[in-house]
Structure 1
Amino acid sequence: MNTFQHLPLLLQQQLTDAAAFIERQQLPDGCIPWFSQGKCDPWDMVEAAMGLTVAGKLLPAKAAYQWLSEQQLDDGSWFAHYQHNQPQEQHHRETHFVAYIATGIWHYYLATGDHPFLQRHFPMVTKAINFVLAHQAPDGEIYWAVNEAGESQRDALVTACASIYKSLECALDIADALATPQHHWQQAREKLGECLRNKPYCFDRTWESKERFSMDWFYPVLAGVYSQEEAQQRLQQRWHVFVEEPVGCRCVSDEPWVTIAESCELTLALVSIGENDKAEKIFTQLQRWQDEDGGYWTGFNFRDQVIWPDEKTSWTAGAVLLAADALYNLTPASQLFQNCYETIT
């Protein structure tokens, strides 16, 4: 079945080419590096695998999750960076990289209804989530990384914690679907949400504030941390700081550089709170950054009018496919990024 058949023909072709680009980067064992001969990290690999799922390329997506299952360490984590199937960064493991597997597994199940797949990979998800929650601070934030000795690196990132918040939602949904409730996961998620909403002092304690990065602005919205009204206000307050019309979303507020993946994730954030017209406007502008091989350039410097860096990544194409699904309801998994705002009483 053609997932994209109800879309305009040009967009159908663009999304088909994007999925084919991801599949060409995939190695025979299932690993999806950023690009040919490039590195792989667990978070971006899941993003690429979700893109394959949206396109109906289910066997390659399953192969990616199987590779992650085989690479998972005994404590439930993954190294931050692999190349040629060998870990390249063993001095730290990033907690939001580890948690994101829950988002990918739940996304695949929503798209396919494959219950045996969910059962097969629940142990992987369980080990990953338990690893992450072992590094939750008393105030609720999740420390960003763990060193070689297994010790928490005692600071936290807003974007990373927001990503974990979404992953915990997905992990809880998996547990419910399998009738194996995990109440401590729910308690940890509630504590993390409260921290993200009301305890800004828990983040960026030992380094310069990251608020100049657009992801700190929109990712908590995408993850459903705020009520709908609060989320809308949050995006409106800094819209003109980060959105460069008609190019896309800046990576950081003080640099003339938009990135395609961040622009797609802003699209998801807008869809998540019902701002679909704004979302579609952002998304439509991004199609100019697709190359002839189906890949999307990572970013564009609008001051110098140059593509930078000179690379096209599998996870950028994955983000494009996820944004298209959320906007146009291409698969049942589109619901994952729709109506995500918190109901706060």
Structure 2
Amino acid sequence: MLTAAALRQTGSAIAVTQEPSGAIPWFPGGHTDPWDHVESAMALTVTGLLDEARAAYLWSAQTQRDDGSWPMQTRAGVVEIGDADTNFCAYLATGVLHYVLATDDDDFAVELWPTVRAGIEFVLGCQVGRYGEIGWCANEHGGHGEALLAGCASIYHSLGCAIELAERLADRQPAWAAARRRLGTALRAHPDAFLDKQRYSMDWYYPVLGGAVRGAEAHARIAARWDEFVVPGLGIRCVADAPWATGAETCELALALDTIGDHDRAATLVDDMQHLRETDGSYWTGLVFADGKRWPEERTSWTGAAVILATDAITRGTPANGIFRDHPAAH
């Protein structure tokens, strides 16, 4: 596994991308989306860059819209895509709980709680599916889009984190728990409720990573498509039918494996994707292994963040290392 010094170097590479506003774009000059921004803030927390992490979370609070949402994409403070991705809007709950677990700073949780609560209320307003699934996108015309399995699996985890925060701050939200139970049932029992995105690896492992699927069912799910997605020595494919191994998906699968006790294969996956590491600790997004070319030609903050979070989980590094494995407290 990577050393603590190597992780700090990657954290510093992420911090270099952070803008004065606190936003963390994909790369310097790139766009910012609310989900990857939070993922990067979590990595800053793990590597001890707490001032930078707090600045990132405060950016989330300052840029939230009146309805509790965030625009899907901004660049240097200018909105490029105004629609709201529900998964993006839920993820702040995961980030804030992660920060509190790492630092025990309940005061910061209190400060961010109105933002988290408004975001979750917005997301649950999009739970319009027959089985409890949540539309992936809300636009200015009131449409909610169809439900995506990976996105809803991530929302399931974020809802659990929000519920845990609510209990920690003595602001219990029983309606959230009921909505989460419905979403979990949809994820486990109604695959027909979601758009068919089975060619994407995220649809394979995210129900495990998000906690909706655990135990024997989780092991069976991972085993069913392991050979289809995993490329030994390189990582995993982003899509089943393309010779493209991507670092973030590889590390997310490692995190999913860690949640079900498959530690050796989790560690191997993180090791396998280190061919994407640059000398400054940043990470290229992926490799087209058919011709040996890195693509896209971007070193993304969120790829480095996924490496840091996976390594922290596997090594049991910080007090927040179990954010996916052990939290929310009840699956």
TM-score bracket, normalised by the shorter chain, equals: over 0.9
- Once the two structures are TM-superposed, the CA of residue 11 in structure 1 deviates from its matched residue by 2.5
Is 2:120 the partner of 1:133?
no
Is 2:52 the partner of 1:65?
no
| Aligned twin of 1:272 | 259
8 Å CA contact 2:252, 2:306 repeated in 1? yes
TM-score (norm 2): 0.97
Read off the aligned partner of 1:132 and give its amino acid letter. Answer: V
CA-to-aligned-CA distance 1:24-51 (integer Å, 9 cap, x gap): 0001121111111100000000010000
| Aligned twin of 1:284 | 271
CA distance in 2, matches of 1:227, 1:316: 25
Instruction: State the secondary structure of the residue aligned to 1:258.
Output: strand
CA-to-aligned-CA distance 1:96-125 (integer Å, 9 cap, x gap): 000001000000001000010011111001
Q: Runs of 5+ in structure 1 lacking a partner?
A: 1-7
Match of 2:16 among 10, 19, 24: 24
Instruction: State the secondary structure of the residue aligned to 2:162.
Output: helix
Q: Greater CA deviation, 296-305 or 11-20?
A: 11-20
How many residues align structurally? 330
TM-score (norm 1): 0.93
Instruction: State the secondary structure of the residue aligned to 2:241.
Output: coil
Read off the aligned partner of 1:139 and give its amino acid letter. Answer: Y
CA distance in 1, matches of 2:316, 2:324: 10
Read off the aligned partner of 1:202 and give its amino acid letter. Answer: A
Is 2:88 the partner of 1:101?
no
Instruction: State the secondary structure of the residue aligned to 2:134.
Output: coil
Match of 1:50 among 39, 42, 45: 42
Read off the aligned partner of 1:144 and give its amino acid letter. Answer: W
| Aligned twin of 1:203 | 194
Instruction: State the secondary structure of the residue aligned to 2:57.
Output: helix
- Once the two structures are TM-superposed, the CA of residue 340 in structure 1 deviates from its matched residue by 6.6
Instruction: State the secondary structure of the residue aligned to 1:211.
Output: coil
- Once the two structures are TM-superposed, the CA of residue 343 in structure 1 deviates from its matched residue by 7.9
| Aligned twin of 2:223 | 236
Sequence identity, in percent?
46
CA distance in 1, matches of 2:50, 2:141: 37
Structure 1: 4+ residue segments shifted above 3 A: 339-344
Instruction: State the secondary structure of the residue aligned to 1:293.
Output: coil
After TM superposition, the structure 1 = structure 2 runs for residues 247-326 of structure 1, keeping only pairs within 5 Å, are: 247-326=234-313
CA distance in 2, matches of 1:314, 1:130: 28
- Once the two structures are TM-superposed, the CA of residue 201 in structure 1 deviates from its matched residue by 1.3
CA-to-aligned-CA distance 1:238-268 (integer Å, 9 cap, x gap): 0000001111010000000010000000000
| Aligned twin of 2:115 | 124
- Once the two structures are TM-superposed, the CA of residue 14 in structure 1 deviates from its matched residue by 2.2
8 Å CA contact 1:228, 1:341 repeated in 2? no
| Aligned twin of 2:79 | 87
Instruction: State the secondary structure of the residue aligned to 1:337.
Output: coil
Read off the aligned partner of 1:314 and give its amino acid letter. Answer: S
- Once the two structures are TM-superposed, the CA of residue 228 in structure 1 deviates from its matched residue by 1.1
Q: Runs of 5+ in structure 2 lacking a partner?
A: none
Match of 1:114 among 101, 105, 128: 105
Instruction: State the secondary structure of the residue aligned to 2:320.
Output: helix
CA distance in 1, matches of 2:140, 2:113: 26
Read off the aligned partner of 1:98 and give its amino acid letter. Answer: C
8 Å CA contact 2:160, 2:328 repeated in 1? no
- Once the two structures are TM-superposed, the CA of residue 226 in structure 1 deviates from its matched residue by 1.3
CA distance in 2, matches of 1:280, 1:211: 25
- Once the two structures are TM-superposed, the CA of residue 316 in structure 1 deviates from its matched residue by 0.8
